[in-house]
Amino acid sequence: MSLPSAAPSPLLRYPSKWYKSIDQGARVTGSAEDPDAQTTRPILFLHIPKTGGTSMVTVLQNLFGESRTRRLYLNEPDDLRQDIATLLQSGMTDIACITGHMPLHFFAGHIEKFRLFTMLRHPVARVKSLFRFLRRHPDLPAIGLHQNFSFDEFLASRAGEVFPVIDNAMTRMLCKNPRAYDPTDPYFWTLGQRAELTEEALQTLANSDFGLVEDMTRTRQLLRRSWAVPFALDELTENTTAHDETLETPAILAHIAERNQLDIALYDRAKTLFYNRAEAPRRPAPISTIFTPRLGQTTELPDIPGRQGFLPYESSGFAWLNRATPSRLHFTPPAARARITLRVYTLTPNYPLHQTKLTLNGENLPFFVAKKDAHWHEIVTAHVKLKPNLNLLTITPTVWLSPQNITPGSQDRRQLSIGLSRVSFEADIPA
């Protein structure tokens, strides 16, 4: 038996090789500065490498739905500029979030059309994590490194793909200066001498929503409050790398710090701004984070916002439930009473789907299972009364399996159970 392949681990994309786009989704109304503005601005998530961004992309895709999120990957700068121009010309009416390893200067002249968001991490911890991550890169020669490269070789790299993510990467991405990403310009190699860029990057943060990897609890609280999300944000952590004691020597720590003086200054000042915001709540700018189904209409998972507890959506047509937390759908009622049908994929033909626990607004929800084929099923609930405002459906499997124990040779180390594909609501049957 073959299983749907796991979503590939995203690799770092760098300024010398850019761009590929996938439609995925969210819409933002208002802004941090003017939440009452009658405009709709997509979130622009500037994903700085090794700052928890992979996990945050999953948060955003669950929060808003994949179909309204646009993810940009590094390829050629001219292609990226053309794609941004095409997005702007379209009016971005069907896009709620744009994300990628994108320096802010690519959006010069159009920054006001977006609501900026980014994640920061202490520069020393970020570079150590980057080293561990790149040691697992599948094509090291393509980025100018060899197998089992040393930390000294890593820091000494002059490859255009590696140097800018080692050397003051947060300042580079946030300072708006295109010269910081042009290896043919001496400016690219001497960024650490440009102290004024710290002020420019800090100004970007002053006009952005941002979080700290070192304080994800407050980051989630701030985002929930700033974006007026009506439920707590608690998502998985992906793309993490193991701690390495060999990177804790004074010489290595000093060498990293020497290469990241601008980022260290930026991070220290950003922390003050972050905690000031935590103590002084800002007026929220509501965003669309709630599923609003219609009776008799089937909704595919990428079009469902207001989700939590799902792994990234896969090309096989579903998203696996996350073992770390019950999977949840927040939705407004399409009627006073309805029956809910969940189209699901199970890891094995004999998976005990009937043991799954469903709750609606905290109460157990009766259901039966209709088998469609070996792996595809429908979970069909009883007709139930729905709350007039926000409802919460939770899905909690009781059995988790390893693909490695099912498919010989599988490299998938996850614990999996059920994949959700789509949801529909049907009207109550009159008595």
Q: What pLDDT shows up at residue 391? A: 96
Residue 127, pLDDT > 90, answer: yes
The position carrying tokens 């949801």 is: 423
Q: CATH number, domain at 358?
A: 2.60.120.260
Among 279, 308, 335, give the residue marking a domain's end. 279
User: Is the confidence at residue 39, as pLDDT, over 80?
Assistant: no
Specify if 3 maps to a domain: no
Residues 311-343 pLDDT 10s: 999 999 999 999 988 899 999 999 999 999 999
Q: Which residues contact 183 (CB under 8 A, 6 or more apart)?
A: 15, 16, 160, 163, 189
Q: Are residues 23 and 72 in the same domain?
A: yes
Q: Is the domain of 352 the same as that of 227?
A: no
Q: What pLDDT is attached to residue 236?
A: 56
pLDDT of 193 reads 92
Mean pLDDT value of segment 38-61: 85
Mean pLDDT of 358-363: 96
Residue 289 domain flag: no
322 φ, ψ to 5°?
-90, 130
Taking the C-alpha atoms of residue 128 and residue 125, their distance in angstroms, rounded to an integer, is: 5
* Residue 412 near residue 403 (C-beta atoms within 8 A): yes
Of the CA atoms within 13 Å of residue 68, those in its CB half-sphere come to 25
Q: What is the mean pLDDT of residues 155-180?
A: 94
Which pLDDT band, with edges at 50, 70 and 90, does 429 fall under? low
Q: Residue 13: CB partners within 8 Å, gap ≥ 6?
A: 73, 74, 75, 100, 101
pLDDT of residue 28: 33
> Is the pLDDT confidence value at 277 over 70?
yes
Say if residue 268 is in the same domain as residue 315.
no
pLDDT at 15 exceeding the cut of 80 = no
CA nearest to 401, candidates 392, 393, 410: 410
Provide, rounded to the nearest whole percent, the portion of the chain with pLDDT above 70: 85
> What does the alpha-carbon distance between residue 130 and residue 124 come to, in Å, rounded to a whole number?
10
> Rounded mean pLDDT of 11-32?
33
pLDDT at 256: 94
Judgement on whether residues 124 and 219 belong to the same structural domain of the protein: yes
Together in a domain, 338 and 408: yes
Structural domain includes residue 132: yes
d(CA 234, CA 355): 25
Structural domain count of the chain? 2
Is residue 356's pLDDT more than 90? yes
My answer on whether 303 and 196 are in the same domain is no
Q: Tell whether 4 is covered by a domain.
A: no
- pLDDT 10s digits, 56-109: 899 899 999 999 898 877 666 777 888 888 888 888 888 889 998 889 999 988
Q: Mean pLDDT across the stretch 382-394? A: 95
User: 121 and 265 in one domain?
Assistant: yes
Report yes or no on 8 lying in a domain. no
Please choose, from the candidates 103, 114, 85, 127, the residue with its C-alpha nearest in 3D space to the C-alpha of residue 46.
Answer: 103
Residue 111's domain is classified under what CATH number? 3.40.50.300
- pLDDT at 282 > cutoff 80: no
pLDDT score, position 27: 31
- Give pLDDT, residue 185: 93
Across 51-60, 182-191, 286-295, which has the greatest mean pLDDT? 182-191
Residues 77 and 168 in one domain: yes
361 band by pLDDT with thresholds 50, 70 and 90? very high
User: In 213-364, which residue ranges form alpha helices assigned H by DSSP?
Assistant: 216-226, 250-259, 261-279
pLDDT on residue 16: 33
**Together in a domain, 23 and 147:** yes
**Looking at residue 8, what is its pLDDT?**
35
DSSP lists the bridge partners of residue 310 as 321
Q: In sequence order, what E strands does 314-354 have? A: 319-320, 327-331, 337-346
- The position carrying tokens 């001219």 is 78
| Full residue range of the structural domain in which residue 417 is found | 298-427
Are 264 and 304 in a shared domain? no
User: Could you report the per-residue pLDDT of 216-252, keeping only the tens digit for each?
Assistant: 999 999 998 888 888 888 765 655 555 566 677 888 8
For residue 292, being part of any structural domain is answered with no
pLDDT surpasses 60 at 134: yes
Q: Which is it for strands 69-74 and 18-23: parallel, antiparallel or unpaired?
A: antiparallel
d(CA 174, CA 44): 12
Residue 334 lies in a domain: yes
* 279, 310, 345 - which closes a domain: 279
pLDDT tens profile 190-212: 999 999 999 999 999 999 999 99
How much is the pLDDT for 241?
A: 55
Q: Is the pLDDT of residue 296 over 50?
A: yes
3-state secondary structure of 301: helix
Q: Does 323 lie in the same domain as 253?
A: no
C-alpha separations of 429 from 337, 339, 382, 383 in Å = 9, 9, 11, 8
With a cut of 50, say whether residue 29 has pLDDT above it: no
User: Do residues 133 and 267 share a domain?
Assistant: yes
For 194, counting Cβ atoms within 10 Å of its Cβ (0-12 exposed, 13-18 middle, 19+ buried), the class is middle
Give the pLDDT confidence score for residue 247 in this predicted structure: 73
SS3 content of the chain, % helix, strand, coil (to 5): 35, 25, 45
Assigned domain for 146 exists: yes
Which one of 33-37, 101-105, 298-302 scores highest in mean pLDDT? 298-302
In this structure, the number of other CB atoms found within 10 A of the CB of residue 168 comes to 26
Q: Give me 279's structure tokens.
A: 């103590």
At residue 81, the pLDDT reads 83
- CA 299 vs CA 23, 304, 349, 357: distances in Å: 16, 7, 25, 22
Give the per-residue pLDDT at 407: 86
For 374-393, what is the mean pLDDT? Answer: 95
- Pick the closest to residue 201 from 175, 170, 173 (CA basis): 175
Helix or strand (DSSP H, E) at 98? strand 97-100
**What pLDDT score was predicted for residue 431?**
47
Nearest to 2 by CA among 419, 403, 377, 413: 403
